[in-house]
């Protein structure tokens, strides 16, 4: 690692804890240890880090080097974008989610109160260094959080991509690095296709929000107890229920995606039976993607294409929530009857 006067490192404190026997982080001239928690993706915490950078002597010709997952990226990218109106930054993504998804696209985000990713900027790093071996030390819940975004990207990519998840599910459970490298690279190329012509999130890129309307609401209602990518899986299940209720997808597509892609990549059995439609609807309505009285959601249609529908009514959300709660509960019962989990 470069260790000079101009390089300011911000490193996830968990990475420092796990890897300090291999890497001499404390020998770096300028470094800050950052506890990667959703609760620290805030303006207040950002100001604290900027204070530390200033006390370490950061200047407008300095560069920031960030090592960590999506949270570290969101916070560091935001700081790099506003400090002295922008300094160069470099990113080493250390989670599956950040390697397969968040590292590209240039978005930085902070939470406000309990509202997820409400403020932010577009400010990509100068360079991204993906080292897949980092995935091996992730806790299961964080590993499967990354799988959530990978599964989303493969559904967006279409049938051939979906098959690559289905046929590799056992290797996914084993964390087979060669399979994961392929899935990471597929995800990054699918995402690139959607962001290439829509750098500032105006149009085609909206499809990447599949699962996010419900997913973000779920994250804030549960105070981030459910990891981001896992909330997105629940969000895609919810969104497919609306598609199914609208007769935009048939039962066999609905079941295939649920039972072969979504449920096998859910790590834990979160109790979602207490989720109320009032709470859900009020959370969805303050989401930054909502621009109208009726709600917007990305929905799957029969030819496996996705569209952003802007006319979702409160009643549809209420009905879908009932269906969602029964489906998820009956799937937990099915897995428990089989004796634990879906094959792993």
Q: DSSP label at 118?
A: E
By CB under 6 A, what part of segment 8-47 binds ligand NAD? 12, 14-15, 18, 36, 38, 41
73 within 8 A of 49, measured Cβ to Cβ: no
Q: What is the DSSP string of 187-248?
A: HHHHHHHHHTT-TTSSSGGGGGGTTHHHHHHHHHHTTT-S-HHHHHHHHHHHHHHHHHHTTS
**Is 172 near ligand NAD (CB under 6 A)?**
no
**Is 230 near ligand NAD (CB under 6 A)?**
no
- Of the pair 192, 276, the CB lying nearest ligand NAD is at 192
**Is 283 near ligand NAD (CB under 6 A)?**
no
115: left (phi over 0), alpha (psi -120 to 50) or beta: beta
**Is 99 near ligand NAD (CB under 6 A)?**
no
Comparing every residue's Cβ against ligand NAD, the nearest one is 70
Quick one: which of 11, 16, 69, 265 contacts ligand NAD (CB under 6 A)?
Answer: 69
- Of the pair 212, 331, the CB lying nearest ligand NAD is at 212
Quick one: which of 40, 62, 102, 253 contacts ligand NAD (CB under 6 A)?
Answer: 102
Show contacts of 20-29: CB within 8 Å, 24+ apart: 27/3, 28/1, 28/3, 29/3, 29/4, 29/5
**Is 225 near ligand NAD (CB under 6 A)?**
no
Q: DSSP label at 113?
A: T
**Is 132 near ligand NAD (CB under 6 A)?**
no
190: left (phi over 0), alpha (psi -120 to 50) or beta: alpha
* CA gap 46, 53 in Å, rounded: 11
**Is 124 near ligand NAD (CB under 6 A)?**
no
Picking from 221, 305, 204, 338, the residue whose alpha carbon sits closest to that of residue 270 is: 221
Distance of closest approach, residue 228 Cβ to ligand NAD, in angstroms: 4
- Of the pair 18, 171, the CB lying nearest ligand NAD is at 18
Picking from 260, 265, 253, the residue whose alpha carbon sits closest to that of residue 167 is: 260
**3-class DSSP state of 287:** coil
Picking from 241, 242, 253, the residue whose alpha carbon sits closest to that of residue 155 is: 253
Quick one: which of 40, 46, 81, 145 contacts ligand NAD (CB under 6 A)?
Answer: 145
Quick one: which of 68, 125, 211, 264 contacts ligand NAD (CB under 6 A)?
Answer: 68
Distance of closest approach, residue 91 Cβ to ligand NAD, in angstroms: 10
Which span sits near ligand NAD by CB under 6 A: 64-72, 162-170, 261-269, 303-311?
64-72
Quick one: which of 30, 65, 87, 142 contacts ligand NAD (CB under 6 A)?
Answer: 142
Residue whose structure tokens are 């985000």: 109
**Is 309 near ligand NAD (CB under 6 A)?**
no
By CB under 6 A, what part of segment 258-277 binds ligand NAD? none
**Is 81 near ligand NAD (CB under 6 A)?**
no
* CA gap 95, 138 in Å, rounded: 7
Which span sits near ligand NAD by CB under 6 A: 101-109, 153-161, 269-277, 316-324?
101-109
- Of the pair 18, 56, the CB lying nearest ligand NAD is at 18
- Of the pair 147, 249, the CB lying nearest ligand NAD is at 147
Q: What CA–CA distances, in Å, run from 288 to 109, 212, 213, 332?
A: 12, 11, 10, 32
Distance of closest approach, residue 132 Cβ to ligand NAD, in angstroms: 10
Interface with ligand NAD (CB under 6 A): 12, 14-15, 18, 36, 38, 41, 68-74, 94-95, 97-98, 101-102, 105, 107, 109, 117, 134, 137-138, 142, 145, 228
């Amino acid at each position: 690692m470069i260790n000079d006067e101009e390089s300011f490192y911000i490193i996830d404190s968990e990475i420092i804890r796990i890897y300090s026997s291999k890497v001499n982080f404390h020998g770096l001239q300028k470094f800050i240890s950052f506890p990667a928690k959703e609760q620290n993706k805030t303006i207040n915490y950002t100001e604290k880090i900027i204070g530390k950078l200033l006390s370490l002597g950061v200047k407008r010709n300095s560069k920031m080097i960030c090592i960590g997952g999506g949270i570290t990226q969101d916070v560091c990218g935001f700081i790099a974008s506003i400090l002295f109106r922008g300094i160069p930054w470099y990113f080493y993504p250390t989670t599956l989610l950040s390697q397969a998804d968040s590292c590209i696209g240039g978005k930085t985000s902070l939470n406000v109160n309990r509202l997820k990713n409400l403020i932010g900027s577009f400010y990509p790093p100068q360079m991204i260094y993906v080292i897949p071996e980092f995935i091996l030390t992730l806790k299961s819940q964080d590993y499967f959080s990354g799988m959530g975004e990978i599964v989303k990207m493969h559904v967006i990519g279409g049938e051939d991509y979906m098959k690559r998840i289905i046929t590799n599910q056992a290797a996914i459970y084993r964390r087979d690095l060669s399979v994961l490298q392929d899935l990471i690279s597929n995800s990054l190329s699918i995402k690139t296709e959607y962001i290439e012509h829509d750098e500032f999130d105006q149009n085609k890129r909206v499809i990447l929000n599949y699962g996010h309307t419900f997913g973000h609401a779920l994250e804030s209602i549960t105070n981030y107890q459910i990891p981001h990518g896992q909330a997105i899986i629940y969000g895609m299940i919810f969104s497919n229920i609306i598609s199914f209720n609208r007769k935009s997808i048939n039962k066999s597509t609905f079941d295939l995606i649920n039972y072969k892609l979504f449920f096998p990549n859910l790590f834990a059995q979160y109790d979602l039976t207490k989720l109320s439609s009032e709470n859900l609807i009020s959370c969805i309505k303050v989401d930054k993607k909502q621009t109208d009285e009726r709600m917007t959601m990305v929905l799957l249609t029969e030819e496996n294409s996705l569209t952003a529908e802007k006319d979702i009514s409160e009643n549809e959300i209420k009905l879908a929530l009932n269906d969602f709660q029964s489906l998820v509960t009956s799937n937990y019962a099915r897995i428990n009857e089989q004796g634990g989990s879906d094959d792993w």
